Amino acid sequence: MSDRFVSLTDLTLSYGSTIAVPKLNLDITEGELIALLGPSGCGKTTSMRAIAGLLAPTSGRIEIDGADVTRTPANKRGIGLVFQSYALFPHLSAFENVAFGLRLQKLPEAQIRAKTEAGMATVGLTGFETRKPGEMSGGQQQRLALARSLVMEPKVLLLDEPLSNLDARLRLEMRNELQRVQKDTGITMVFVTHDQSEALALADRIVLMKDGQIEQLGTPAQLYAEPASAFAADFMGFENIFRTEGSDLVSDSGRLPLGYAAPEPILAWRPGGVAVGTGPHQGRVLASSFAGGHREYVLDSPLGQIKADAPIDTPEVPLGDMIAFDLPRATARPLAA
């Protein structure tokens, strides 16, 4: 197993005179499922397109399985692609969609049938061979697109926001399906998403990107619990981020006493880390919503808006009423400036 199965070295990617990704360096291990995560415009899809051979780098090098493929055409790189739109052929059956690439390779018919049937079985589509894509659900179409790529036995499988067209329940099912297929086949996967919950659930490692650069790289547990910057903290769910001055929190709206000396220039809290209904501070309820196991509040405070989650068994506070809250030291994430 290679620790540098896919290697990007000083990779610079541009659109005309606009540099989208400056000097990106990233090594991906063989058999790893890695997520490129970040907001729109951060460079994650651009980086994926370069790995696929769909975008020529301005400078830098791309290596796959020890070979320099920087200038190698897309169809010679051993890359599989699953697009957001799936790009299935609507007039072909499910079987023929999966077999399409194999037929282009002019393999014997018996081999095409065996590989296609095995590929459809891998993604749980045995029995759907004669259906057209339009006769299949969104989740089935997604699995069909996955099977079509897998039967080509690519060295690396790239997935560009493949779950974004599915409803919430199907997304959960397909997360499990993708993870199962990746572990069963051992294929190296690069998964592009803007959804942090997808990245946390699927990836072995997450590459969090901002402005074409890597903001933080680590395991899902590391990024979730130990974001290294205010951007990473905000993206990973620390929605209450404030500057500190001595023993006060400060914002453009005002300040709030902490009651202890701040350990770092910035402190951040998840909504679930804010104590509601108890504490030395008061906030006015601006919004309240039921979220199943908890209630979500938006409070107006001297610092501005604070987002807080309260256990569902605590009494609901009406809009406009004041409620006590605290920002406990134990649940704060200290961040460097």
Helix (H, G, I), strand (E, B) or coil at 138: helix
Q: Are residues 249 and 216 in the same domain?
A: no
Mean pLDDT of 211-237: 95
86 or 56, which is more confident: 56
Q: Are residues 21 and 100 in the same domain?
A: yes
Task: For tokens 């409803």, name the residue.
Answer: 167
Domain count of the fold of the chain: 2
* Model confidence pTM above 0.75: yes
Q: Beta-strand (E) ranges in the chain?
A: 6-15, 18-28, 33-37, 59-64, 67-68, 79-82, 156-160, 188-193, 205-210, 213-218, 240-245, 248-250, 255-257, 266-269, 275-290, 294-301, 304-311, 322-326, 333-335
Is 1 within a domain?
no
26 or 139, which is more confident: 26
Model pLDDT for residues 143-155, shown as the tens digit of each residue? 898 889 889 999 9
Mean pLDDT of 205-224: 97
Q: What is the chain's Cα-based Rg?
A: 24
Helix (H, G, I), strand (E, B) or coil at 128: coil
Q: What is the pLDDT of residue 39?
A: 94
Closest CA to 80 of 1, 155, 174, 179: 155
Structure tokens at 37: 């995560």
Model pLDDT for residues 256-278, shown as the tens digit of each residue? 999 888 888 999 999 999 999 99
Q: At 282, which CATH number? A: 2.40.50.140
**84 has pLDDT over 80:** no
How does residue 168 score in pLDDT terms, banded at 50, 70 and 90? confident
Model pLDDT for residues 124-136, shown as the tens digit of each residue? 899 999 999 999 9
Closest CA to 150 of 119, 188, 112: 119
Model pLDDT for residues 317-330, shown as the tens digit of each residue? 999 999 999 999 99
Domain termination site, one of 228, 263, 297: 228
- Cα end-to-end distance, the chain, whole Å: 39
Contact 310/276 with Cβ under 8 angstroms?
yes
**1 has pLDDT over 70:** no
Model pLDDT for residues 57-81, shown as the tens digit of each residue? 999 999 999 999 999 999 899 999 8
Model pLDDT for residues 196-207, shown as the tens digit of each residue? 999 999 999 999
How many degrees, rounded to 5, is the angle at CA 303 between CA 299 and CA 304? 50
Structure tokens at 300: 């107006």
Is 233 within a domain?
no
Mean pLDDT of 94-123: 92
How does residue 208 score in pLDDT terms, banded at 50, 70 and 90? very high
pLDDT-wise least confident of 21-35, 149-163, 170-184:
170-184
**170 has pLDDT over 80:** no
Domain termination site, one of 196, 228, 260: 228
Is 275 within a domain?
yes
Q: Are residues 295 and 167 in the same domain?
A: no
Task: For tokens 């300040």, name the residue.
Answer: 255
DSSP letters for 58-104: SEEEEEETTEE-TTS-GGGS-EEEE-TT----TTS-HHHHHHHHHHH
Distance CA(324)–CA(331), nearest Å, equals 17
Is 43 within a domain?
yes
Task: Show the domain range for 200.
Answer: 6-228
**337 has pLDDT over 80:** no
Look over the chain and give the mean of its residue pLDDT values, rounded to a whole number. Answer: 92
Q: Are residues 72 and 165 in the same domain?
A: yes
Q: Are residues 218 and 279 in the same domain?
A: no
Q: Are residues 79 and 162 in the same domain?
A: yes
Q: Are residues 82 and 188 in the same domain?
A: yes
**217 has pLDDT over 90:** yes
